[in-house]
Amino acid sequence: MWSPEKNKLTGEPLNIPQLPNCVLFVSDVHLGGFDSDTNAALERDFIALMKWCQQNQTQVILLGDVFDYYMQYGKYTPEVSHTILHWFKHYHQSGNPSTLYITGNHDNWDFGALDEAGFDTEHEYRLFRTENECILMLMHGDGLYEPKFGFPRPLFHRFLRNPYFVKMFKALTTGKAGNSIMRRFSAWSRKNDRADKSDKVHLDSNVVRMLHEFELDVIICGHHHEVRDITAGQKRYMNTGAFYIDRSACLYTKGLFHLVKWDGLNHILHKPN
Ligand SMILES: [Mn+2]
Position 12 in a domain:
no
Position 203 in a domain:
yes
Tell me the CA–centroid distance for residue 224 and ligand 1, in Å: 6
Torsion of CA 167, 173, 175, 177, to 10 degrees: -140
How far CA 12 is from CA of 3, 4, 9, 21, 139, in Å, comes to 13, 11, 8, 26, 20
Position 189 in a domain:
yes
pTM: 0.91
Tell me the CA–centroid distance for residue 105 and ligand 1, in Å: 5
Mean pLDDT of all residues in the chain?
90
Position 183 in a domain:
yes
Q: Which residues neighbour ligand 1 (ion) by CB within 5 Å?
A: 65, 104-105, 223
pLDDT in tens, 41-52: 999 999 999 999
Query: β-strands 59-62, 100-102: how paired?
Result: parallel
Tell me the CA–centroid distance for residue 252 and ligand 1, in Å: 22
Q: How many domains does the chain have?
A: 1
pLDDT in tens, 90-113: 999 999 999 999 999 999 888 899
Position 196 in a domain:
yes
Which residue segment(s) compose the domain that 264 sits in?
A: 22-270
Q: Decide if 58 contacts 40 (C-beta within 8 A).
A: no
Tell me the CA–centroid distance for residue 94 and ligand 1, in Å: 30
Tell me the CA–centroid distance for residue 140 and ligand 1, in Å: 7
State how far the Cα of 53 lies from the Cα of 55, in Å rounded to an integer: 5
Tell me the HSE value of 127 on the side-chain side, using a 13 A CA sphere: 18
Predicted local confidence at residue 3, as pLDDT:
45
Tell me the CA–centroid distance for residue 70 and ligand 1, in Å: 12
Position 258 in a domain:
yes
Mean pLDDT of 222-245: 95
> Is the confidence at residue 1, as pLDDT, over 70?
no
Radius of gyration of the chain from its Cα atoms, rounded to whole angstroms: 18
CATH number at residue 43: 3.60.21.10
Predicted local confidence at residue 208, as pLDDT:
95
> Is the confidence at residue 8, as pLDDT, over 80?
no
pLDDT in tens, 13-64: 567 999 999 999 999 999 999 999 999 999 999 999 999 999 999 999 999 9
Position 87 in a domain:
yes
State how far the Cα of 101 lies from the Cα of 171, in Å rounded to an integer: 27
Looking at the DSSP assignment, which residues form a beta bridge with residue 25? Answer: 61, 250
**Strand segments (E) across the chain:** 22-26, 59-62, 100-102, 120-122, 125-129, 135-139, 218-221, 227-232, 235-240, 248-253, 256-263, 268-270
State how far the Cα of 200 lies from the Cα of 213, in Å rounded to an integer: 20
Position 59 in a domain:
yes
